[in-house]
Amino acid sequence: MPGTGAHDVAIIGAGFSGIAAATALLKQGVDDFVMFERSEEIGGTWWVNRYPGAEVDLESHIYSFSFEPYDWTRTHASWQELLGYLQLVARKWRLYDKALLSTKVATVTWSESTKTYSIDTADGVTYGPFKAVISAVGFLNTPLIPPFLRGETAFDGDICHTSTWRDELTLKGKTVGVLGTGSSAVQIVTEAERQGRAVKVFQIEPNWLLPKGARDFTPAERRWNRFRFVYYYRRYKLYLGYDLRQHRASHARVGGRVNKKRQADAEAFLARETATRPDLKKLLTPSFSVEARRTVISDTYYQALLSPKVELVPHAVADVTPTGVVDALGKKHDLDMIVLATGFDAANYLSTFRVVGEGGLDLREQWTGGAEALLGLMTPNFPNFFMIFGPNTSGIPLVTYYEAQAKFAAKLVKKLATGRARKITVRKAVHDAYNRRLQRRLAQTVWTEVPSYFHGTSGKIISQWGFSPTSYLAGTRLARWFGVKLE
Residue pair 201/186 in contact (Cβ under 8 Å)? The answer is: no
* End-of-domain residue from the set 340, 371, 399: 340
Domain assignment present for 243:
no
> Both 154 and 55 in a single domain?
no
* End-of-domain residue from the set 317, 340, 363: 340
Residue pair 41/163 in contact (Cβ under 8 Å)? The answer is: no
> Both 269 and 159 in a single domain?
yes
pLDDT at 226 over 90: yes
> Both 47 and 135 in a single domain?
yes
> Both 297 and 434 in a single domain?
no
Q: Is 441 helix (H, G, I), strand (E, B) or coil?
A: helix
Q: What dihedral do alpha carbons 102, 105, 106, 112 form, nearest 10°?
A: 160
Rounded to the nearest angstrom, the gap between the alpha carbon of residue 34 and the centroid of all alpha carbons in its chain is: 22
Task: Please give the share of the chain, as a percent, with pLDDT higher than 70.
Answer: 100
**Domain at 42, CATH number:** 3.50.50.60
> Both 437 and 350 in a single domain?
yes
Domain assignment present for 38:
yes
Select from 223, 179, 184 the least CA-distant residue to 205: 179
Q: For 221-234, what is the mean pLDDT?
A: 97
pLDDT at 347 over 90: no
Domain assignment present for 298:
yes
pLDDT at 143 over 90: no
> Both 272 and 167 in a single domain?
yes
Q: What is the pLDDT of residue 458?
A: 79
Burial class (CB in 10 A: 0-12, 13-18, 19+), 259: buried
Domain assignment present for 248:
no
> Both 29 and 111 in a single domain?
yes
Q: For 35-54, what is the mean pLDDT?
A: 95
Question: CA angle at residue 481 from 442 to 465, to 5 degrees?
Answer: 15
> Both 153 and 135 in a single domain?
no
What pTM value is reported for the model?
0.96
* End-of-domain residue from the set 340, 369, 393: 340
Residue pair 176/355 in contact (Cβ under 8 Å)? The answer is: no
> Both 336 and 358 in a single domain?
no
Q: What is the pLDDT of residue 268?
A: 98
Domain assignment present for 45:
yes
Amino acid at 286: P
**Alpha-helix runs per DSSP H in 214-337:** 219-225, 228-245, 257-273, 278-283, 301-305
Task: Give me the chain's average pLDDT, please.
Answer: 96
Range of the domain at 104: 7-142+346-486
Residue pair 107/67 in contact (Cβ under 8 Å)? The answer is: no
Tell me how far apart the alpha carbons of residues 226 and 464 are, in angstroms, rounded to a whole number: 34
As a whole number of angstroms, the longest Cα–Cα distance in the chain is 70
User: What tens digit of pLDDT does each residue of 73-114 get?
Assistant: 999 999 999 999 999 999 999 999 999 999 999 999 999 999
- Residue count of the chain, please give it: 487
Q: For 258-285, what is the mean pLDDT?
A: 97
Q: Considering its fold, how many domains does the chain have in total?
A: 2
Rounded to the nearest angstrom, the gap between the alpha carbon of residue 396 and the centroid of all alpha carbons in its chain is: 11
> Both 17 and 154 in a single domain?
no
> Both 160 and 302 in a single domain?
yes
CA-atom Rg of the chain in angstroms: 23
